[in-house]
Structure 1
Amino acid sequence: MSNTRIAKLLHEKMPHHTVNSWNTMVGGQLREMIEQKRKRAGIAYRKNAHTEEISGRQKPTSEEGDKAVKRQKISKEESRNQDIQFIAQFFADGEANGVDDEDDDRSALWERLHKKGKWRTPSSWEEFYEENHLEVKRHFSDIIDQEAEQ
């Protein structure tokens, strides 16, 4: 879970501070505690996965495992590229027109995007955009350039 998502959840529980205020708090004062919790959760997840693997599932051969990992990496990359292209096309189609940078308007933007791309939640679209905004902008520019040429 990203720090932005944590800040939004804190704001929902305690709206006396803005999302940006919570984001600052999460990124500053609470950062070490959150990182420790993430680390422990990751360790617990791996231990649990390892115990399940030992307790009955067959381990694939290393060759089968390598192929599965490669397929998974390729499909994740394809999925990421499709989502980047989807958001860029969303912006190029003018779906974001009239939306300011205010929090309420931005949440309306992610709601609109969610209605078109239901495989992600509005908050996950926002997080995805925050992580990949440079590539989205590059794809957006490419789309606009192609439309201008036609």
Structure 2
Amino acid sequence: MGKRSFRRVYTSLCFGVYEKKKPELIYIAYAETDDFAHDGDYSAYLKSANTTDGMLKELWNFTQSDSFYKGNTVFIVTTDHGRGTEPLKTWRRHGKNIDGADQVWLIVFGNNIKVKGEVLEQGQLHSISIAPTVLSILDVAIDNSNINGKILDVLVK
């Protein structure tokens, strides 16, 4: 099964879980862009990012048409690592010795999320703070002895 077929099957399975199980938290990892980046196939990388964007739109439209999810859904979209930036040829790689690989992006939207557009804050936000932010959104008590990150107050109403 090719990458394109797998991606579509994966998304279809997610919709099946949404409809039948009605989970309050769903984690989806689309890794295809990373695969194409490692291959150095920039055209496929951009196409995959565009396709993934379309699937996120489908997920958003589904949540807005389902009474269980509408008005209750938060989307958190990010990546587990950045990409090399300097020199440009390092965009195919990541790791502690690659400049820029420690920089990730984060998109958050939905119920009880502040609408801010691009957030430019002094200091740095860290991906370790995503877990406590999710717990806060779900109104789950946070055991600070087990979590190192801080709630991203800049996002949550």
Q: TM-score range by the shorter chain?
A: under 0.3
Structure with max Cα Rg: 1
Normalization by structure 1: what TM-score? 0.24
Normalization by structure 2: what TM-score? 0.23
The structure that is strand-richer by fraction is 2
The structure that is helix-richer by fraction is 1
Q: Whose relative contact order is higher, 1 or 2, with alpha carbons under 8 Å and at least 6 apart?
A: 1
